Amino acid sequence: MFCNQCEQTTRGDVCHQWGACGKSPEVDALQDLLVHCLRGLSQVALQAKSLGIATRETDEFTCEMLFSTLTNVNFSVDDFINFVNRAIALRESLKLQIKATGNAVVESAMANFQPDSDTKQQIQQGKDLEFAFIGQSAKNIDIFSLKLTVLYGLKGLAAYAFHACELDQHDEGLYTFCHEVLANLDAQDKTLEEWLALALKVGEINLKAMELLDAGNTTTFGHPTPTVVPLGSTVGKAILVSGHDLLALKAVLEQTVGTGIKVYTHGELLPAHGYPKLKQTYPHLHGHYGTAWQNQTHEFDHFPGAIVMTTNCLMPPHQSYQDKVFTLGPVGYPGLQHTSIRDISSIIAKAESMPGFESECDRGTVTTGFARNAVLGVADAVVNAVKDGSIRHFFLVGGCDGAKPGRNYYSELVEKLPDDCVVLTLGCGKFRFFDKDLGNIGGIPRLLDVGQCNDAYSAIQIAVALAQAFDVTVNQLPLSLVLSWYEQKAIAVLLSLLYLGIQNIRIGPTLPAFLTPNVVKILSEKFQLKLITSAEQDLAACLS
């Protein structure tokens, strides 16, 4: 196998025998086979679009399928075989519609590709395709590096676009872009500069995806407001909802009304408590349990109720708790029960059969809900605090958490900040410091949880509004971006920030393994993108 799409890739290089995430070589091969089939599907979808044939089902499917290949989403051979078959069925259906218009269907090896009917042979086909794809690296390793950047960024973009389309937010240009990238990923005539431009274009379109998701979330659930969230538990049966999907959380809340079951969020669903139409409509949304994804094997084991995994990041479950974990949407793991948000009765039945929390437990509280509306609602106070010197500098410390030791850097950085600095945070990286009481500056909290990783969109809007208020560019603001990355959504967000021309971003805990030294050099020259060093050194540099 060959997979280097995430930060925990083996030895910081590539997973080639077994995924450090738990992905098997078979699943890896089938994911590559699926991407190959999606590329053929995209070629046909583009032709269908040009003929005015409706392709919405294919558009949504393509996003969901790319999402299923993200790190820690789906580990099931059976699911990927099913996904491959669906891709081919959709492709053939579009071909029939094209033929019905009297046109000849686009001819290419990819558009005509037939997966074998035997699972073992399909896996071999995936391996062969992967081998051929990696073979391109021999021609020009830097172009190959940027090609992987484009593909991985596209996967992140597709994940956000999938969440947005669940909330009925669509953008035709976004779907066409996804198909164009997939259809032309093998283009041989692009220069290094053109591949770099395409990577930045992925960032541009990812901004659109995050904007759509923001629109979907805020129109469906209201604009987040600062909300105090208990970290402890209350007596009673319980369901834990993990991942990023607010709509799935709503389905769980809706279907547990009147059951007496309390619903807890986990991981990236903490910001859900800030959305008024969730918190106010469903008082049994009790609080938040646990921390970031990489602690789930311990945290899930101790949770006395059913657990629902709505998106990444799912870790291979331990036997001691796997019977209480359910998956939804593109998430899958062999042996775990998969269900749909339309009917979660099996999850409710599981929660009811379990003891639930038998005593109250007070673990304090955290505050979330400082998305763009809430922060910009006090923009005058923030601007005045900067003008009178009571706020010296803003730090955006955001991104993913992970298991590697170098990630203590982020909590150290936040702990060492002088009292006149404010931290904006987002993504699951916040769990390193989310429960720290940093106090406030003239009533403005020093730690502001903007939301999930996709709420990078909200953070960008805050930065743009502040820059306008001070009549400067975002790069001239007293603002430093210190990001942690783990998987492909973080790559998409990074590309969005680079597309916006944001300079001096610090990223860690390591640089992506798929970036060659030459590509890193180009990015550092063009954007002053840098690897984190030590908390002291970076803090001094940011404040100098």
Question: Binding site for hybrid [4Fe-2O-2S] cluster: what residues are annotated?
Answer: 244, 268, 313, 400, 428, 453, 487, 489
Residue type, 431: F
Q: Does 35 bind ligand SF4 (CB under 6 A)?
A: no
State the binding partner of 267 from ligand FSO, ligand SF4, none, CB within 5 to 8 A by kind.
ligand FSO
Give 71 or 484: the residue with its C-beta nearer to ligand SF4.
71
Token pair for 423: 């931290």
Three-state secondary structure string covering 458-494: HHHHHHHHHHHHHCCCHHHCCEEEEEECCCHHHHHHH
In the numeric block, which tokens belong to residue 241?
């909802």
Q: For residue 282, how many other CB atoms are within 10 A of its CB? A: 17
Which residues between 243 and 272 bind ligand FSO (CB under 6 A)?
244, 267-268
Q: Is 530 helix (H, G, I), strand (E, B) or coil?
A: strand
Size of the site for ligand SF4 (CB under 6 A): 12
Residue of 58, 71, 217, 291 that binds ligand SF4 (CB under 6 A): 71
Task: List binding-site positions for [4Fe-4S] cluster.
Answer: 3, 6, 15, 21
Query: CB of residue 3 vs ligand FSO: minimum separation in angstroms?
Result: 16
Residue 9 is a binding residue for ligand SF4 (CB under 6 A): yes
Rounded distance between C-alpha atoms, residue 253 and residue 275, angstroms? 13
Q: Which two tokens stand for residue 65?
A: 């399928």
* Residue 299 or 487 with smaller CB distance to ligand FSO: 487
Q: Is the peptide bond prior to 509 cis by the omega test (within 30 degrees of 0)? A: yes
- Is residue 293 involved in binding ligand FSO (CB under 6 A)? yes
Rounded to a whole number, what is the largest CA-CA distance in the chain? 70
Q: How far is the CB of 520 from ligand FSO (least distance, A)?
A: 20
> Quick check: 3 binds ligand SF4 (CB under 6 A)?
yes
**Residue 115-134 contact track with ligand FSO, rule CB under 6 A, x = bound:** --------------------
Q: Is 384 exposed, middle or buried (0-12, 13-18, 19+ CB in 10 A)?
A: middle
Is residue 427 at the binding interface for ligand FSO, with CB under 6 A as the rule?
A: yes
What does the CA dihedral 160, 346, 30, 181 come to, rounded to 10 degrees? -20
Residue 342 carries which DSSP code? T
Cβ atoms of 315 and 296 closer than 8 Å:
yes
21 binds, among ligand SF4, ligand FSO, none (CB under 5 to 8 A by kind): ligand SF4
Euclidean distance between CA atoms 516 and 229, whole angstroms: 43
Applying CB under 6 A, does 206 fall inside the site for ligand SF4? no
Part of the chain binding ligand FSO (CB under 6 A), chosen from 48-56, 58-66, 247-255, 486-494: 486-494
Q: Which residues would be at the binding site for ligand FSO (CB under 6 A)?
A: 244, 267-268, 293, 312-313, 400, 427-428, 452-453, 486-487, 489-490
Q: Which residues would be at the binding site for ligand SF4 (CB under 6 A)?
A: 3-6, 8-9, 15, 19-21, 23, 71
